Structure 1
Amino acid sequence: MSAKRKRPGPASDSLVTEHEKTVHEVIRSKKDMGASQWEMKREINVADNIITKCIKSLLSKNLIKEVKSIQSRGRKHYMSAEFEPSSEITGGAWYVEGSLDTEYINVLKEQCWRKIYGMKVATLEGIADALRRSNVSQIELSKQQVEEIVKALVLDNQVMEVKSTGTGEFASIPVGKVCYKCIGKRGYGGEPKLGALASIPCGVCPQISRCTPDGIISPNTCAYYQKWLDF
């Protein structure tokens, strides 16, 4: 959670009505997770039309902002202006305006494949370092993000996960450490052997660790997974 500016002070509060203050406090209490109008209605005993009017007023005064949520696409989501949305709301680095950035992901997948191919055998740290030095991404990728891309390549059957034996091509890598090798020499983008698994969105989803059948994040409610099934 990060605050990008100071919390609005008394001068701002003096410009809002009591109902607006109540609505704003509910939104503010959710911090970087924000709240939908349905959640506001659940917490305060105020008519829908009043909440709607308060939201419009608070938006016009720049006390709150509307954010896109990958968890509830059918509902508008609001956040107090001093907070930046959590990655649980935005989807993290792989999403832009609530949509999966497939073009960016594919560029990173190709670059990861090329780095692994060039190194013959590569550790996650080695791949991350090679990507950082190549400046292929405008933002510095975390180790977790690089791992998500590499795991997607494994699902695509472009890369295999192996463990170092400490000998031969693994001589410089500690025994038992997880490494990655390219499958075949056909070049990146060759026909994957796993058919439909090549395009499954779960491989690059930043919420995969939180995804459960009955949870808020679930295959049952995931638009991308449903689109993949329909295809």
Structure 2
Amino acid sequence: MASTADAAMLVDEEDSKVKIYKDALYDACRASGTDQRLFSQQELLDLGAVPAKDLNMLKTVLQQLNDERLLISCQGPNGLAFKWREQSEAEKYKQCGDQEQAMVYSVIDDAGSDGIWSQTILRRLQMHENVFKAAMKHLIQKKLVSPFKSVEHPTKKMYIKASLRPSDKATGGPWFTDQNLDEAFIEALHAVIYDFIKGKSTYKRGSGVTPRQAPKKGVVKGSAPVTKKRTAEQISGEGGAAAAAGQDAASAKKDVLLPMPAGYLDYPTSSDIAKVLSKTNITKTVLSEEDVHKLISVLIADNLVEQVRMAGGRKGFRIVRPTKQSLQGWAVKQGTSALGGGAEDVEVGPDAYHNGYTDVPCGKCPVFDLCEPGGPVGPNNCEYFQTWLGK
């Protein structure tokens, strides 16, 4: 009887050691990196939570953590690796009713925020379809798993953990609404961004506003002394008339946008634009600085905005050809359209860059390969060409 009691005490002591080492190793993993960090066997030993040379103890502790879903075994760059899981997430495995549900939930859990296709789960687990459907039904009822629609795979039945939000890769990010590209939303964002950049990178001639941080004009040593300009009253005869004509010409060009002078340091950055968008009512979606930069990249590709390097390595943006742009904002609706026989508001955007080469219809002609003088289609009978010349 004594030997049996002693054996039981040894087992209890061993279990206590395993529990102590298990908790110590789990806490050390959490303190050493995020839940995405991979630990090799040697790195786990180096944490000092388990005796350095006791590989059997390490094996036992790892098995315990794996059984409790606190540690995940996976393939690392140099072989078998491990990463830790939050206790709250590990507790969800206890809600699985049987082994099949736990297996299905584990595969969906590993897929993360990208989700996973139902057929991929079946192939990976080699599970009968009826068993899979029954397991999935219970997981959905327990709110552990939820189906969702993926922009990347619109025809596939996708599943994701109920506690996760689908990634931008799956949903298309803020540019998609109900799995459809929201072109009107994107156009409105472009308008707001362009108007903000225009307001920060230009100033209106004759407005009396002097752009900030304009470099001061210097006087070169040895240059001729600066003299005051004569007024119109001081100039008589033809000189006075010429001056008046010059003033009239300047008045005609009064309402025009001018670029900021060299050395200007207040061009808006992606961060500035993101902060402005977060304060507007145009969207309830919080756009990151990366999202804003994607929108700006489209404006740059359309030759409407260009990047400017400022002091300190900062990158700002300004509009292209400011003197050619309208004083009114892109987001402002004005004008009329005769489409449909009635007048309606139309969106006014920035003036596009164009010339004879970009306007000529030959570049996008559907029968360009057949076009030649004297042929069935040619410049002399081209309906597109005649329309273009008649503008």
**Category of TM-score, reference length = shorter chain:** 0.5 to 0.7
The residue that corresponds to 1:185 in the other structure is: 325
Amino acid of the residue matched to residue 318 of structure 2? Y
Question: For the residues of structure 2 that align with 1:154 and 1:82, how far apart are their CA atoms?
Answer: 38
CA distance in 2, matches of 1:175, 1:24: 50
- Quote the sequence identity (%): 23
Distance 1:161 1:65, change over 3 A: same
The C-alpha deviation readout for 1:197-222, integer Å capped at 9, x for no partner, is xxxxxxxxxxxxxxxxxxxxxxxxxx
CA shift for structure 1 position 48: 2.6
Q: TM-score, normalised by structure 2?
A: 0.41
Matches within 5 A, 1:23-34: 23-34=104-115
What is the Cα deviation at residue 40 of structure 1?
Answer: 0.3
Q: In structure 2, give the amino acid aligned to 1:185.
A: Q
SS of 1:30 mapped into structure 2: helix
2:284 paired with 1:138: yes
SS at match of 2:163: coil
161 and 58 in structure 1: CA distance in 2 versus 1, 3 angstrom threshold: same
> 1:64-105: per-residue Cα shift (whole Å, max 9, x none)?
101222222221110122222222222222223333232322
Shift in Å at residue 11 of structure 1? 6.0
Specify the structure having the higher radius of gyration (Cα).
2
Q: CA deviation at 1:118?
A: 1.1
Give the corresponding residue for 1:213: none
Give the Cα separation in 2 of the matches to 1:22 and 1:128: 43
Letter in 2 for 1:179: F
Residue ranges of structure 1 left out of the alignment (5+ in a row): 165-172, 196-231
Q: CA RMSD in A?
A: 3.2
> 2:287 is aligned with what amino acid?
L
Distance in 1 separating the partners of 2:102 and 2:133: 13
CA distance in 2, matches of 1:81, 1:50: 21
In 2, the alpha carbon distance for the partners of 1:133 and 1:24 equals 40
1:44 corresponds to: 125
Mapped pair 1:151 → 2:297: yes
- Superposed counterparts of 1:199-218, under 5 Å: none
Question: Partner amino acid for 1:76?
Answer: K
For residues 136-181 of structure 1, the C-alpha deviation after alignment (integer angstroms, 9 at most, x for no partner) is: 4334422111111111222334x221434xxxxxxxx428745231
Once residues 42 and 151 of structure 1 are traced to their aligned partners in structure 2, the CA distance between those partners, rounded to angstroms, is: 41
Q: 1:58 aligns with which of 116, 139, 145?
A: 139
Q: Relative to 1, partners in 2 of residues 1:65 and 1:148: Cα closer, same or farther, differing over 3 Å?
A: same
* Counterpart position of 2:268: 123
Is 1:83 paired with 2:223?
Answer: no
- 8 Å Cα contact 1:117/1:182 also seen in 2: no
Greater Cα shift, 35-44 or 139-148 = 139-148
CA contact (8 A) 1:109 1:149 kept: yes
Contact 2:325–2:351 under 8 Å retained in 1: no
Unpaired stretches in structure 2, ≥5 consecutive residues:
1-34, 36-84, 203-266, 331-348, 359-391
In 2, Cα distance between the equivalents of 1:175 and 1:62? 51
Whether the 8 Å CA contact 2:197–2:317 is kept in 1: the answer is no
* 2:305 maps to amino acid: M
Aligned residue identity for 1:144: E
Structure 1 residues 40 and 179: CA distance shift in structure 2, 3 A = same
